[in-house]
Amino acid sequence: MIARKIKKNLLLVGEISQLFKEFVHCLYTRPFYLGRLYEQIIHLGMGSISITLVIGLVTGMVMTLQFGYGLEKFGGTLYVPAIVSLSIVRELAPIFTSLLVAGRIGSGISAEIGAMNVTQQIDAIRALGTSPVRVLVVPRVLATIISLPLLGTLSAFMGIVGGLIIAYTEFSMPVGFYVNKILTNVQVMDIVGSMFKCAFFGLVISLLACYRGFQTTEGTKGVGDAAIWVVVRTSTIILISDFFLTKILLLLFG
């Protein structure tokens, strides 16, 4: 039983690596579908902006409230901007944004490709002498890898703004002081690291979503199952791999 499960998962890893290899191969061989990439960036990336803004802002506000009242007891209100901004930039923004994108984009991609698969449209792409990886996977994966770091950064920025609003209204912290603390505490490498994490999560989400879409059989029910599978798997992978990525980034940049 356990042996079967391990074997199944190893096979899965093998097949996903194969898809990744084909994806990379398509990156440096013709034809390139720039129009399709642009379409996907608009569809996947731009479509996620409003919700990213809201989540980012609210996260910053809640964090500032919690740390503000928590640290006030010990006279530590002064440290709130540094703590809040660093935890948002380094952890909360990339994680929350990625989980959100896993739900929104990941399930969308797998359902779309899955539906194309059960209606033989994937076969039609092949039958017409074109490659489903090139036509469908490359634009979606690239669009997610490009969009997610930008969304994550946007979310972090909104979090800092949200923190500022609460720091000013609830704790009467001067705006200049808050901004100054942010500028001295948040380093460029924090933002770069955060974007790197987002790009990695974007790759995981979109690649798994495409993979699962191609595996979809069993008609309409299969399409729904594929979406669920992608959200559960990618969310788990994001949270676990975040630990290791964080460890690596801390080792590299302190």
Q: Which residues bind other proteins (CB under 8 A)?
A: 31, 116, 119-121, 123-131
Q: How many CB atoms lie within 10 A of CB 50?
A: 9
The nearer residue to other proteins, 36 or 104, going by C-beta atoms, is 36
* C-alpha distances out from residue 141 to 25, 36, 108, 196, 210, Å: 13, 11, 13, 15, 8
The nearer residue to other proteins, 14 or 31, going by C-beta atoms, is 31
The nearer residue to other proteins, 121 or 180, going by C-beta atoms, is 121
What whole-number distance in Å separates Cα of residue 52 and Cα of residue 91? 15
* Closest distance of CB 248 from other proteins, Å: 36
* Closest distance of CB 42 from other proteins, Å: 14
The nearer residue to other proteins, 89 or 122, going by C-beta atoms, is 122
The size of the chain, in residues, is 254
* Closest distance of CB 129 from other proteins, Å: 4
The nearer residue to other proteins, 149 or 213, going by C-beta atoms, is 213
The nearer residue to other proteins, 129 or 254, going by C-beta atoms, is 129
* Closest distance of CB 128 from other proteins, Å: 5
* Closest distance of CB 117 from other proteins, Å: 11
Q: How many CB atoms lie within 10 A of CB 158?
A: 22
SS (H, E, C) 69-108: HHHHCCCCHHHHHHHHHHHHHHHHHHHHHHHHHHHHHHHH
* Closest distance of CB 203 from other proteins, Å: 23
Residues near 102 by beta carbon (within 8 Å), at least 6 away in sequence: 201, 205, 230, 231, 234, 235, 238
* C-alpha distances out from residue 213 to 62, 160, 208, 227, Å: 37, 37, 8, 8
Q: Half-sphere exposure of residue 210, counting CA atoms within 13 Å on the CB side? A: 27
